Structure 1
Amino acid sequence: MLRLLRPLLVSLLLIAPAAFAEALYQVELIVFRQAEKAVPASQPAPEDWAGKAAALPATAQRSPALTGEAEKLAAKGYQVLLHQAWQQDVTGSPAAVRFSTGKERDGHFPVEGVLDLAQGRQLELKLTTWVNRFNAEGFLAGSERLQIARRLIPGQLTYLDHPSLGALIRVSPL
């Protein structure tokens, strides 16, 4: 009997890590201005700001759940620049997606960024967000950049700090 079970146990052990290697999460991101004066980045957002990050398909978009938090920020005088939610598969290797809001001008958006999530022993986040300023002709004149790498606790609302910008993010398993 043990001889028959041994191959079955070995195959289950080989299959099990693959089953847990990918998980589905709901990601919700709020980017806001927390200072009256912008702190510009040393260089504006690069031409290829998204790199190889995948665009979010329309089917991945979700209704934001953190509307109460966004309203509290606005009531306290913060300017909410972006509030988006989406569904995303997260694997052991980084899964970069790009996000943006506003009208595209000169290949850039008023707010644009790349969010990288990877699930290992912990949930790892890499976030780069640019808040762009355009001149009268519609060309990119300058940017602010919020760049953070952090471990997240799934389901917990996390505050990400910057001298003139801030972000709230919650990544919840589905």
Structure 2
Amino acid sequence: MTSLRSLQLLAILALSGWMGLAQAQSQNTYQVEVVIFSQPSAQLTPGTAPSYGWADQATDLTVTTRSDVRSLDSSRLELSSDAGKLSAQGYKVVLHKAWTQPDDSSLAVAVHEGQEMGGIYPVQALVSLGQERLLEVDITAWINNQTQNGEIVSERIKQIRRLRLDETHYLDHQSMGMLVRISRS
């Protein structure tokens, strides 16, 4: 009888340990770093412009009060060397941001650079992470240029890509591109 109780207690402890591990794994925190660059000599390839509510359903990195989404300072950037190489080769780095975020597939993080032009920024992006078996990133980024008559002409890149942690991934679209790196925080 004592051995049966011991076995039951052992099973309960094992199950609660497994559940704790599953909960800990579901609350992973990632460090996300994005570099967006353009090729100034390339011809502008107009794409779909962002809507004025482009970040309504996202967490804006610059103003968020969420404690689990935090901007990282420049000393923690891992792609600075790569961004420098791009600049040396004639590319224009237009955005370089890094942050931490939880493993939450419903979370989209909005990042932007430059002076706002009526809800649109010169450079802006939405970044979402998801994971079933493999880590995936869903990115939509725009480089927006205002013409002399006030119109916005946008270049847009949208990709969903499976990623490996701690590797730099290159996303390309004619006159613009991105470097993305995701690691555990």
Cα distance in structure 1, aligned partners of 2:78 and 2:167: 13
- CA contact 2:52–2:118 (8 Å) conserved in 1: no
User: Which runs of 5 or more structure 2 residues have no equivalent in the other structure?
Assistant: 1-5
Question: What does the per-residue CA deviation read over 1:52-102, in whole Å, with 9 as the maximum and x for residues that have no partner?
Answer: 0111238711122321111110111111111111111123x3421100000
Question: What does the per-residue CA deviation read over 1:140-167, in whole Å, with 9 as the maximum and x for residues that have no partner?
Answer: 4221101000011011000011111110
Q: Aligned pair 1:122/2:134, yes or no?
A: yes
Aligned equivalent of 2:3 = none
- CA contact 1:128–1:148 (8 Å) conserved in 2: yes
How far does residue 49 in structure 1 lie from its aligned partner after superposition? 1.2
Cα distance in structure 1, aligned partners of 2:154 and 2:94: 14
How far does residue 6 in structure 1 lie from its aligned partner after superposition? 1.7
Cα distance in structure 2, aligned partners of 1:113 and 1:153: 21
| Count of aligned pairs | 171
Q: Aligned pair 1:65/2:78, yes or no?
A: yes
Q: TM-score, structure 2 length as denominator?
A: 0.85
Q: 1:23-42, aligned counterparts within 5 Å?
A: 23-34=28-39, 36-41=42-47
% identical aligned pairs? 36
How far does residue 116 in structure 1 lie from its aligned partner after superposition? 0.4
- CA contact 1:49–1:113 (8 Å) conserved in 2: no
Whose radius of gyration is greater, 1 or 2? 2
Which aligned runs of 4 or more in structure 1 are off by greater than 6 angstroms?
Answer: none
Cα distance in structure 2, aligned partners of 1:3 and 1:77: 67
Q: TM-score, structure 1 length as denominator?
A: 0.90
- The answer to which of 46-55 and 159-168 deviates more is 46-55
Aligned CA-pair RMSD:
1.8
